[in-house]
Amino acid sequence: MSGAGVAASPGRSSGPAGTAAPGPALDLTPRGTAAPLWRRTLRQAGLEARIALRNGEQLLLTLVLPVIVLVAAVRTTAVDLGDGDRPSLALAGVLAVAVVSTAFTGQAIATGFDRRNGVLRLLATSPLGRGGLLAGKAGAVALLVAVQLVVLCAVAAACGWRPDPLGLLAALPALVLGCTAFTALALLLAGTVRAEATLAAANFVWVLLLAGGGLVLPSPVPALTSALPSGALGAALRGALTEHAVAAGPLLVLLAWTAAAVAASARWFSWE
């Protein structure tokens, strides 16, 4: 028998007992890092805003109905909107309605059904996290209200409203606080009761606030509505768009409601 050894196959080295040596270790190190939280939150906000705009019921609530109410309020003189420029009064009231529709009614219904279907629980365990998810919902409300602001201002201008930069600037604090307060109230409702009850309650409250909450029409009981977030929001927007002034009293009422609603949501909101 020849003493010559058997040549190893190309590209493979012989290990002990004639076995092939193991190849290079598989590198499972992740390539890249997760997106920063602010970017994940913005993406979530954009996703939720797009979903809302593609939903026919949400679109009716957030854009179609406010536009109809705005045109009717400007064109119909039989309804008393108060003292001041009628298009400005109508725009202020309808902007308040738009904020309540988007931040409270729409957000409560969407969050309630997300909670029932397990979406909240799933997203809360994702890299987005609970804080990012809630911030994304607030960001979606801000995006939708910005769209409403542009559309309603354009419609009001076509109906005779004359824009004033000072008035719009004075309205910003009321819009920000109104969005925050009603979003927190929406999360409180959606996170504590069943989805079907949330749907009924959110729509019922919307009708009540539209009829007598001081959003569009002057309230017959101003002492009561001035203490409500709807009345404070309506008064602050009317003061901004008709008098070009920041209404400190209504803003303080909105701030108090915001603090109370945020604290209550943090205490009682349930993810499932």
Buried b (16+ CB within 10 A) or exposed e, 85-104: ebbbbbbbbbbbbbbbbbbb
pTM exceeding the 0.85 threshold for the entire prediction? no
Q: Could you tell me which residue, 191 or 16, shows the higher pLDDT?
A: 191
Residues contacting 98, CB < 8 A, separation 6+:
62, 66, 145, 148, 149, 152
For residue 271, count other CB atoms closer than 10 A to its CB. Answer: 15
For residue 180 the two structure tokens come to 């925050």
Per-residue model confidence (pLDDT) at position 25: 61
At 20 the pLDDT is 53
pLDDT recorded at residue 158: 93
The pLDDT of 248-261, averaged and rounded, is 95
Average pLDDT rounded to a whole number, residues 88-111: 93
Residue-level pLDDT at 11: 45
Residue 10 or 210, more confident:
210
**Pair of tokens at residue 256:** 């108090």
Q: Which of 49-63, 95-109, 117-131, 207-221 has the highest mean pLDDT?
A: 95-109
Which one is predicted more confidently, 39 or 172? Answer: 172
